[in-house]
Amino acid sequence: MHTRLVQIGERVKKLDKLADEVATLVKRQFDIDQAQPELSQKGEMWYRGARELLARYEFSGLNDFEECYAGRSYMRGMHSVIHETRAEIARFSDVYEVRQDFDRQFREARGLVNSLVAEIESRELLAASQLSLVLSADEFDTARHLFETARNDEAFLRASGVVARVALERHLFTVADSRQIQIQVNPPMKKKPEVEDVLTTFVRQNVITAIQKSELDSLLKVANNCAHPKEAVNAADVERLIKRGKELAAIIS
């Protein structure tokens, strides 16, 4: 995802640089009426290139962008200003008002194009969080199946708890990524955050409550016991881990 966003960002920058050239030509057109046909050519290059990029990534503001070009809410659209000379505009319209309208439309259109990367990033981070919910739900179902298969087999019982732990921890870290939350590690010299760091940060960021953290701490303690044969494990605790872990994962997103 990161590489693709960088590539899109670079394309947006190139389009914005081209928009600067269009803005300069528009100024020349209104000042001395000597910008055609270059304005027409570069204006279309900018518009067509930007529109295709917005359409390709199903940008939510595509209709607004097209309206800026067509000018349905204004005296004239960007289209007419890009393709006409000052003299042609002056025949039927107030040049000053047309210039003001164009400036507003062009500013809005550029802002829409420049917001594309932010929209795609938010959309894909949300998709990652939703995918995590689906995957963790499947893993919790696997844990439930192992638990029901276990009967008196401690190995299966422990395995079900470990699978549930993996599902819960992975989901919590995915939520942190999707919300772009910087996890504060304790102690600070620790190389990477652990799930306890995630939970503490989530409470500070109001993602979860202190009560939810307490319950998650309890569930993860059961999960850790499942991973260490020397620690005692109780079937009722493992069942609670699977059931409440799945429920809490569905709430935290």
Q: What is the per-residue pLDDT for 107?
A: 92
CA atoms within 13 A on the CB side of 194: 10
According to the model, what pLDDT value does residue 149 have?
A: 81
Query: 145-154, 157-166, 171-180, 220-229 — which is least confidently predicted?
Result: 145-154
Q: What span, in angstroms and rounded, lies between the C-alpha atoms of 28 and 22?
A: 10
Q: Is 90 exceeded by the pLDDT of residue 122?
A: no
Between CA 240 and CA 144 the distance in angstroms is 10
Query: Between these two residues, 178 and 63, which has the higher pLDDT value?
Result: 63
pLDDT at 214: 94
Cα–Cα distance for residue pair 40/26, rounded to 1 Å: 10
Checking if the pLDDT of 1 tops 50, the result is no
What 8-state DSSP symbol labels residue 77? -
> Is a pLDDT exceeding 70 seen at residue 135?
no
Instruction: Quick: pLDDT tens for 191-203.
Output: 888 999 999 999 9
Taking 60 as the threshold, does the pLDDT of residue 189 lie above it? Answer: yes
| Whole-number percent of the chain with pLDDT over 70 | 91
- pLDDT-derived band of residue 73, with 50, 70 and 90 as boundaries? low
How high does pLDDT run on average in the chain?
85
pLDDT band at 71 (very low <50, low <70, confident <90, very high): confident
Residue 184 DSSP code: P
* Residue in this structure with the two tokens 């499947």, named with its chain if needed: 138
Whether residue 127 is predicted with pLDDT greater than 60 in this model: the reply is: no
Give the C-alpha separation, 117 to 56, whole Å. 13
- How far, in Å, are 58, 70, 163 from residue 116 at the CA level? 10, 20, 38
How far is the C-alpha of 30 from the C-alpha of 23, rounded, in Å?
11
Which residues have CB under 8 Å from 57's CB, separation 6+? Answer: 8, 116, 119, 120
Structure tokens at 96: 């000053």
Alpha helix stretches (DSSP H) within the chain: 2-32, 38-56, 62-70, 78-83, 86-92, 95-114, 116-150, 154-178, 195-204, 210-227, 235-251
CATH of domain 121-251: 1.20.120
The pair of structure tokens assigned to 251 is 């709430």
Confidence of residue 125 (pLDDT cuts 50, 70, 90): low
Confidence band, pLDDT 50/70/90 cuts, at residue 252: confident
CB contact set of 210 (below 8 Å; sequence gap of 6+): 203
